Amino acid sequence: MRILIVGGGIAGLAMARALELKGLRPDLIERKADVPQGGTGLYLPGNAARALQALGLLDATSALATPIKTQRILDHKGRPLSITQTQDVWASCGPCLALPRGVLHATLRQSLRETHLRFGTSISEIEPLEKTSLATFSDGTMVEYDLVIGADGVHSKVRQSVFPEVLSQYVGNVCWRFITADTVGIDAWTVMLGDSMSLLALPIGDGQVYMYADRSASEREARQDLAQLPRNALLETFPAPLSALVEQMPAHTQVHAGRLEQVVMEDWVSGHVVLIGDAAHASSPSMAQGAAMAMEDALVLAEMLSASERIGDALAGYTQRRKPRVDWVQKQCIARDKMRRLPGWGRASVLKLAGNLLYRRSYTPLTEPI
């Protein structure tokens, strides 16, 4: 079976790994000549650890990750609203882990043995044929494939080619992400919530902490230059324990900024083209499920392709198995984002009374097998 994977991020590399485990040898293209993954971190809930186990990579990843046993939600003054012991929910799946994004990316890439990797190449056009797809690459070459898998993110060129009517949607928040020295001893997933703003710290090992800040913004504001971290606003809104991490960050710290977008689709399949990961169902990061959903997609699609005689049947089975789970995650993301926009007193009351219950309600369905 001739398979092309478009996209060399976590979704694409996980897809290649899952296919190799089923005895298949895909081609993978990535538009960037190299894929820099520095400067950001990654939180992997227990279902992501289970997916890594199925990919044969949990031990290698865990050895380089920090286990996250506690999740703390604080108000804008640092007072506890909710404290959750993560293994109370995820014990049947695996540990919750935090690590630099580049570590997971490198682990996935180094695991590949049979995949033909082409970096610095992008997709220009996908032409549907009777039982195949003709892919035209940026260098002008054309290759016919039995299946094209779009794993190229929220602004997917594959999706634009085969689903031109589907556009990513702004969810109302902009964000900033960076890694800095852990000068205050963060030992858990810790977030502080202010009116229209939040600040998250996550220990990722080697004395480092991954920081994530976001705030509500209009569509017009979100289209402006977001390059500068709103440092003063964060320091004015959030005191200890997280303010020192912002105040003491070196001037040369690499800060990644962007607007948060989602992709909502009824179907991810068009002929012999299929979408996975953020290309199919990007969500806000409020459930921390981006990497988990991508790896689960890869495992299910590889399983269906190896078990089905016809590609069409495999793609239909993939959609049938994945759609309810993905829809649940997107629904929970929307609900969480709405709750965060409540007035501070209202949000505090909800989290104090039902923080652990809400955590269980959101994540328990994801402990079920994929």
Give me the domains of the chain, ranges plus CATH numbers. Answer: 3-68+93-168+262-343 (3.50.50.60)
Average pLDDT over residues 256-273: 96
Cβ–Cβ under 8 Å, residues 100 and 210? yes
What is the pLDDT confidence band of residue 38, given thresholds at 50, 70 and 90?
A: low
Res 34 pLDDT > 90: no
What is the pLDDT confidence band of residue 112, given thresholds at 50, 70 and 90?
A: very high
What is the pLDDT confidence band of residue 97, given thresholds at 50, 70 and 90?
A: very high
DSSP annotation of 273 reads E
Res 285 pLDDT > 90: yes
Of the candidates 211, 171, 186, the one whose C-alpha atom is nearest the C-alpha of residue 330 is: 171
Average pLDDT over residues 273-287: 97
Q: How far is CA 181 from the centre of its chain?
A: 23
Using CA atoms, how far apart are residues 231 and 213, in angstroms rounded to an integer?
10
CB atoms within 10 A of CB 252: 5
Q: What pLDDT does residue 346 have?
A: 74
Q: What pLDDT does residue 349 have?
A: 81
Q: How far is CA 108 from CA 12, 121, 143, 146, in A?
A: 10, 20, 26, 24
Q: What pLDDT does residue 37 have?
A: 61
CA-angle at 288, arms to 177 and 302, nearest 5°: 120
Average pLDDT over residues 225-230: 90
Q: What pLDDT does residue 35 have?
A: 64
Backbone φ and ψ for 107, nearest 5 degrees, come out as: -60, -45
Using CA atoms, how far apart are residues 16 and 196, in angstroms rounded to an integer?
39
Average pLDDT over residues 14-23: 98
Q: Are strands 41-44 and 147-150 parallel, antiparallel or unpaired?
A: unpaired
Percent of the chain with pLDDT strictly greater than 70: 99
Q: What pLDDT does residue 352 have?
A: 83
Q: What are the tens digits of pLDDT across the range 125-158?
A: 999 998 999 999 999 999 999 999 999 999 999 9
Average pLDDT over residues 253-280: 96
Q: What are the tens digits of pLDDT across the range 323-357?
A: 999 999 999 999 888 877 777 767 788 888 888 99
Average pLDDT over residues 51-61: 98
Q: What pLDDT does residue 225 have?
A: 87
Q: How far is CA 21 from CA 147, 231, 282, in A?
A: 18, 46, 26
Average pLDDT, the chain: 94
Whole-model pTM: value is: 0.96
